């Protein structure tokens, strides 16, 4: 009687533990909804999005920190408090940040917009908003297992004073270039604008609430479904985008079985995608490329399906994505030549004004190499004449010999140069012929006398002693050597 009861109890416990396997690690989330902006028209949906996401994440085993309508200082404090909580939970922690509200890109950087901003010019945004990179750096500064950032923050730019000079949407953020274990999702593709939606939630949050609830669905497959759902709901006007450097499996809710090992799918070529899409209905083919989200898939699609509405939409997505990749490369290189190359490739875009401004700024920037050369710190004086904003040569080219013989360069070392000759203010004193004086004892009598000079010991010269002689030269070299080591080197 006892044995069957124990057997059923152990089976029930095993099922319970298996169903909560995804919650074995600590899960903490920060959910921010920015609706009540003070200087512009409020956004109705971010507050609803935040409440719905808090409920979803709470059901998924997250300890949720809710925050709404934060000023700049409040947002900084919340992010800092959240990082402290992640650190307290330990390295086996999943940290998730959900943000709904306005977001902007200025000079290639992304900013989250507090409710108290009131910019009069473009340069006010970096002073009044929150850099997305600062949030990322704060999260990566504490040990954690996985970091997930979900940004419903690409709505239209609401600030007329900077609407013409700032680029549309958000710039690319590639999680693969940062710390491993990071997943980022944006409500629309880079350089595009997201819709707030006509319902209670935005199209992005609505799709996420539905896809994340399915048990056993990996985070990668979850956001594939989010992309397809949002694309359909907006009739192709909006397509979410994500970037991942995850090394561990993550699911919002566990499935009935054990999680399959994480596998990296091989990237398909354009020809492979063309063969895959050939003969498919255009609607099915469009869903396939939207779920995949790569340039190769879109390029194959636009070559096969040119008819509207799907063909032009896919072409627009592909052109915009390539432009944003080129813009991201120019921002990373950050040289005048890099921005000039972008302008030659894309002379008329929403980023043209920003690229020209950054190019002019870098051309007029003081050259660091020139400053180093002026104080003797540049490894090659010719670097001082390099145009501002151009890439400097590598260390190997700087160390190359300048003579045609091709001899290897000499190692840099300290060389004692002969000192500059100088005359002493006083004539040198001859060494005294007197024997060393014996220390006086307390009981000795003090006797003062002067011994007469020995006969023929010294005969004065009839002419004056020259001011520079052997004694002066040796004495001067000894002091000059010390001066070169210490003071004279800087003056030289």
Domain boundary among 195, 228, 244: 244
Domain boundary among 363, 393, 428: 363
| 290 and 238 inside one domain | no
- For residue 397, report the phi and psi dihedrals to the nearest 5 degrees: -70, -30
Burial class (CB in 10 A: 0-12, 13-18, 19+), 30: buried
Strand residue runs (E) in 232-293:
241-244
| 175 and 318 inside one domain | no
pLDDT > 70? residue 74: yes
| 191 and 295 inside one domain | no
DSSP single-letter state for residue 423: -
Domain contains 169: yes
Task: Give just the sign of the alpha carbon dihedral 485, 487, 490, 492.
Answer: negative
Q: Is 144 left (phi over 0), alpha (psi -120 to 50) or beta?
A: beta
| 37 and 149 inside one domain | yes
List the one residue out of 48, 72, 73 whose CA is nearest residue 152.
48
Confidence of residue 356 (pLDDT cuts 50, 70, 90): very high
In the numeric block, the tokens 């972008």 are attached to 342
Domain contains 211: yes
| 91 and 228 inside one domain | yes
| 219 and 161 inside one domain | yes
| 93 and 223 inside one domain | yes
| Rounded-to-integer distance, Cα 57 and Cα 172, Å | 26
CB 116 within 8 A of CB 124: no
Helix residue ranges, H only, 375-431: 395-398
pLDDT > 70? residue 355: yes
Domain contains 347: yes
pLDDT of the residue at 142 = 94
Domain contains 130: yes
Domain CATH code at residue 38: 3.40.50.1460
| Rounded-to-integer distance, Cα 33 and Cα 53, Å | 10
Domain contains 165: yes
Share of the chain above pLDDT 90, in %: 57
Residue of higher predicted confidence among 198 and 27:
27
pLDDT of the residue at 167 = 81
Burial class (CB in 10 A: 0-12, 13-18, 19+), 339: buried
pLDDT > 50? residue 468: no
The predicted model gives 242-254 an average pLDDT of 94
List the one residue out of 431, 370, 429, 380 whose CA is nearest residue 401.
380
Domain contains 96: yes
| 293 and 238 inside one domain | no
Domain contains 397: no
Domain contains 312: yes
List the one residue out of 117, 128, 199 whose CA is nearest residue 159.
117
| 220 and 298 inside one domain | no
The predicted model gives 269-277 an average pLDDT of 96
The predicted model gives 432-452 an average pLDDT of 54
pLDDT > 90? residue 482: no
Close Cβ partners of 456 (under 8 Å, ≥ 6 residues apart): none
Domain boundary among 300, 331, 363: 363
Q: What is the pTM of this model?
A: 0.71
422 SS3 class: coil
The predicted model gives 294-305 an average pLDDT of 96
As beta bridge partners, residue 31 has 66, 98
Q: Between β-strands 93-100 and 26-33, what pairing exists: parallel, antiparallel or unpaired?
A: parallel
Residue of higher predicted confidence among 160 and 441:
160
Q: Could you tell me the residue range of the domain that residue 314 belongs to?
A: 270-363
pLDDT of the residue at 260 = 59
The predicted model gives 13-35 an average pLDDT of 69
Task: Give just the sign of the alpha carbon dihedral 175, 181, 186, 189.
Answer: positive
Counted domains in the chain: 2
pLDDT of the residue at 435 = 57
| 71 and 153 inside one domain | yes
| 133 and 280 inside one domain | no
Residue of higher predicted confidence among 159 and 293:
293
63 SS3 class: strand
| 148 and 79 inside one domain | yes
pLDDT of the residue at 433 = 53
pLDDT of the residue at 418 = 52
């Amino acid at each position: 009687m006892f044995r069957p009861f124990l057997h059923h109890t152990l089976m029930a416990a095993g099922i319970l533990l298996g169903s909560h396997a995804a919650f074995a690690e600590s899960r903490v989330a920060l959910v921010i909804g920015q609706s009540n902006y003070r200087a512009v028209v409020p956004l109705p949906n971010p507050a609803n999005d935040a409440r719905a996401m808090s409920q979803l994440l709470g059901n998924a085993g997250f300890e949720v920190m809710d925050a709404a309508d934060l000023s700049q200082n409040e947002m900084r404090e919340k992010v800092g408090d959240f990082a402290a909580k992640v650190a307290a939970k330990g390295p086996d922690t999943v940290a998730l940040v959900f943000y709904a509200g306005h977001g902007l890109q200025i000079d290639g950087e992304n900013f989250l917009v507090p409710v108290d901003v009131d910019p009069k010019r473009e340069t006010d945004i970096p002073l009044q908003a929150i850099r997305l990179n600062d949030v990322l750096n704060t999260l990566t500064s504490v040990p954690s297992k996985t970091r997930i950032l979900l940004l419903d923050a690409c709505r239209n730019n609401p600030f007329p004073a900077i609407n013409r000079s700032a680029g549309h949407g958000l710039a690319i953020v590639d999680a693969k270039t940062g710390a491993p274990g990071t997943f980022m999702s944006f409500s629309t593709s880079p350089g595009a604008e997201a819709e707030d939606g006509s319902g209670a939630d935005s199209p992005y949050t609505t799709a996420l609430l539905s896809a994340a609830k399915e048990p056993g669905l990996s985070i990668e497959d979850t956001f594939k479904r989010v992309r397809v759902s949002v694309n359909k709901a907006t009739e192709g006007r909006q397509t979410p985008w994500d970037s991942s450097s995850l090394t561990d499996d993550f699911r919002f809710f566990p499935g009935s079985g054990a999680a399959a090992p994480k596998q990296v799918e091989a990237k398909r070529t354009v020809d492979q995608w063309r063969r895959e899409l050939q003969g498919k209905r255009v609607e099915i083919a469009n869903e396939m490329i939207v779920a995949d989200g790569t340039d190769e898939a879109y390029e194959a699609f636009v070559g096969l399906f040119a008819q509207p509405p799907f063909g032009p939409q896919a072409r627009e997505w592909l052109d915009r994505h390539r432009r944003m990749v080129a813009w991201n490369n120019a921002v990373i290189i950050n040289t005048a030549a890099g921005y000039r190359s972008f302008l030659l490739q894309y002379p008329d875009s929403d980023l043209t004004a920003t690229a020209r401004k950054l190019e002019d700024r870098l051309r007029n920037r003081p050259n660091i190499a020139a400053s180093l050369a002026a104080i003797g710190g540049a490894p090659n004086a010719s670097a001082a004449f390099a145009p501002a904003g151009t890439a400097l040569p590598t260390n190997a080219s700087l160390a190359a010999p300048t003579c045609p013989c091709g001899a290897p360069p000499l190692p840099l070392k300290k060389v004692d140069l002969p000192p500059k000759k100088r005359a002493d203010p006083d004539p040198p004193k001859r060494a005294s012929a007197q024997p060393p004086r014996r220390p006086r004892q307390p009981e000795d009598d003090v006797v003062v006398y002067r011994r007469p000079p020995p006969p023929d010991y010294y005969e004065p010269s009839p002419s004056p002693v020259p001011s520079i002689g052997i004694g002066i030269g040796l004495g001067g070299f000894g002091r000059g050597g010390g001066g070169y080591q210490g003071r004279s080197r800087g003056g030289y």
